[in-house]
């Protein structure tokens, strides 16, 4: 088994079927759905499509579901792993480009909506501002000029999967942004690959702004902790 | 407040702040709990350096003995943290129960599967 597609899914019975059908057309890619404690028929959709389904007994969040998927991929001897959303936002046609970047020697390839040559993708003002701050955060801590640090459409080499299977941060935002910093500090190459993402209802409802601020502060504390400890062991990469 | 007391308070608050952030880096403390403690320790630093803030706040709220304001605020924060812990604990309890049930059910399914296998072997 060379490449595994990890598909974290929480109550995605409606879009999951189409996503699985598109993934099935990619040669040599073995999909696994991680059902993150869904209360709808998500697991049934996966089973009907003949796709392996790992069911979590309760909701662990995207980060927790991805981590479970990475461990499944390791158990099944994956050489590369690609993470694809179950809601159809990520276009399976871009998987080949992500996997090619890994074959070319990268440890982590991030599908970016905003890289040069990427398709058009509109986001609300608050989200865009938040994304810009997060991109800058990645650049100042690692020197890697991220254009889409929160993108969850990624591919990883086996050494990175082995590293992340026990280190993967499960919190929201940390599961995308902090992962880049961890992988860079572990000495792996991180690259961006332009992708076109399909639109989802954009914009942040004001009730979620507080949550975004909380998640952002939490991420800062996490990164500060990593930087502090990193310095204490004499600046190990 | 004497200069010695001010310096001690500031140093202790800064020390706890660094310790908490370091624990997060070592992955011994989840960042959400760290945030909870940082909400308390970080504001303590300016308060230690400029104790006049407390007196001003006391005047603003019409409290005669300003430090009482500080004490009530800190007890409120601690109460909030303890309630938050009970909530987390309840969540963890229901999750461990679910995990126990899940394992018991998996064991039962495994037993069934093994019995079915044995049955096939005999016939």
Is there a single domain that holds both residue B33 and residue B69?
A: no
Is there a single domain that holds both residue B115 and residue B66?
A: yes
Is there a single domain that holds both residue B60 and residue B46?
A: no
Q: How far is A112 from chain B (nearest CA, A)?
A: 27
Q: How far is B25 from chain A (nearest CA, A)?
A: 4
CA–CA gap between residue A198 and residue A89 (Å, rounded): 5
Q: Per residue in A50-83, pLDDT tens? A: 999 999 999 999 999 999 999 999 999 999 999 9
Domain ranges of chain A: 3-232
Is there a single domain that holds both residue B22 and residue B57?
A: no
Please indicate if any CB of chain A lies within 8 Å of the CB of B38: yes
Domain containing B71 equals 52-123
Range with the poorest average pLDDT among A51-60, A144-153, B65-74: B65-74
Q: Is A28 helix (H, G, I), strand (E, B) or coil?
A: coil
Please indicate if any CB of chain A lies within 8 Å of the CB of B21: yes
Is there a single domain that holds both residue B46 and residue B60?
A: no
A142 closest CA partner among A178, A174, A111, A105:
A178
Strand order in A80-83's β-sheet? A52-55, A29-35, A3-9, A80-83, A154-157, A108-112, A190-194
Q: Per residue in B18-50, pLDDT tens? A: 999 999 988 899 988 999 899 888 888 888 888
CB A31 within 8 A of CB A106: no
Is there a single domain that holds both residue B27 and residue B56?
A: no
- Note the CATH architecture for domain A3-232: Alpha-Beta Complex (3.90)
In which band, very low, low, confident or very high, does the pLDDT at A119 lie, cut at 50, 70 and 90?
low
Q: Which whole number is the average pLDDT over A125-136?
A: 87
* Number of domains composing chain B: 2
Is there a single domain that holds both residue B103 and residue B56?
A: yes
Crossing angle of the two packed helices B52-61 and B66-122, in degrees rounded to 10: 100
- Percent of chain A past pLDDT 70, that is, above it, reads 90
Helices (H), chain A: 13-24, 42-48, 61-75, 95-103, 125-142, 158-167, 179-185, 206-232
What is the sign, positive or negative, of the torsion defined by CA atoms of B104, B106, B107, B112? positive
Is there a single domain that holds both residue B46 and residue B100?
A: no
CA–CA gap between residue A66 and residue A165 (Å, rounded): 9
**pTM tops 0.90:** no
Is there a single domain that holds both residue B31 and residue B59?
A: no
First CA to last CA across chain B, in angstroms?
Answer: 89
Is there a single domain that holds both residue B109 and residue B87?
A: yes
What is the sign, positive or negative, of the torsion defined by CA atoms of B91, B92, B97, B98? positive
- Residue that the structure tokens 């040069």 belong to: A116
Tell me the two tokens of residue A59: 């909701």
Is there a single domain that holds both residue B26 and residue B79?
A: no
Closest Cβ–Cβ partner in A214, A219, A225 for B25: A225
């Amino acid at each position: 088994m060379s490449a595994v597609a990890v598909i974290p899914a929480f109550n995605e019975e409606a879009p999951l079927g189409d996503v699985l059908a598109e993934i099935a057309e990619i040669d040599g890619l073995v999909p696994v759905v991680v059902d993150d404690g869904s209360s709808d028929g998500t697991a049934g959709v996966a089973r009907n499509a003949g796709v392996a389904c790992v069911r979590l007994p309760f909701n662990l969040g995207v980060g927790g579901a991805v981590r479970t998927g990475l461990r499944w991929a390791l158990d099944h001897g994956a050489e590369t792993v690609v993470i694809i959303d179950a809601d159809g936002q990520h276009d399976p046609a871009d998987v080949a480009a992500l996997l090619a970047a890994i074959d070319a020697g990268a440890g982590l390839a991030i599908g970016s909506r905003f890289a040069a040559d990427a398709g058009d993708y509109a986001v609300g003002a608050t989200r865009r501002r938040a994304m810009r701050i997060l991109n800058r955060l990645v650049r100042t801590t690692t020197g890697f000029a991220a254009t889409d640090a929160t993108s969850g459409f990624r591919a990883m080499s086996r050494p990175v999967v082995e590293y992340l299977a026990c280190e993967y941060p499960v919190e929201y935002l940390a599961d995308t942004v902090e992962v880049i910093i961890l992988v860079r500090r572990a000495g792996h190459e991180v690259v961006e690959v332009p992708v076109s993402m399909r639109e989802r209802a954009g914009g942040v409802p004001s009730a979620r702004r507080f949550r975004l601020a909380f998640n952002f502060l939490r991420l800062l504390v996490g990164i500060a902790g990593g930087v502090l400890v990193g310095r204490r062991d004499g600046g190990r990469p | 407040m004497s200069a010695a007391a001010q310096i001690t308070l500031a140093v202790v608050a800064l020390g706890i702040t660094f310790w908490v952030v370091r624990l997060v880096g070592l992955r011994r403390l989840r960042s959400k709990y760290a945030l909870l403690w940082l909400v308390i320790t970080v504001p303590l630093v300016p308060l230690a350096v400029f104790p006049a803030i407390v007196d001003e706040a006391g005047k603003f709220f019409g409290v005669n003995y300003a430090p009482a304001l500080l004490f009530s605020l800190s007890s409120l924060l601690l109460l909030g943290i303890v309630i938050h812990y009970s909530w987390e604990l309840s969540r963890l309890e229901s999750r461990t129960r679910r995990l126990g049930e899940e394992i018991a059910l998996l064991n039962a399914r495994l037993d069934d599967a093994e019995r079915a296998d044995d049955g096939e072997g005999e016939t």
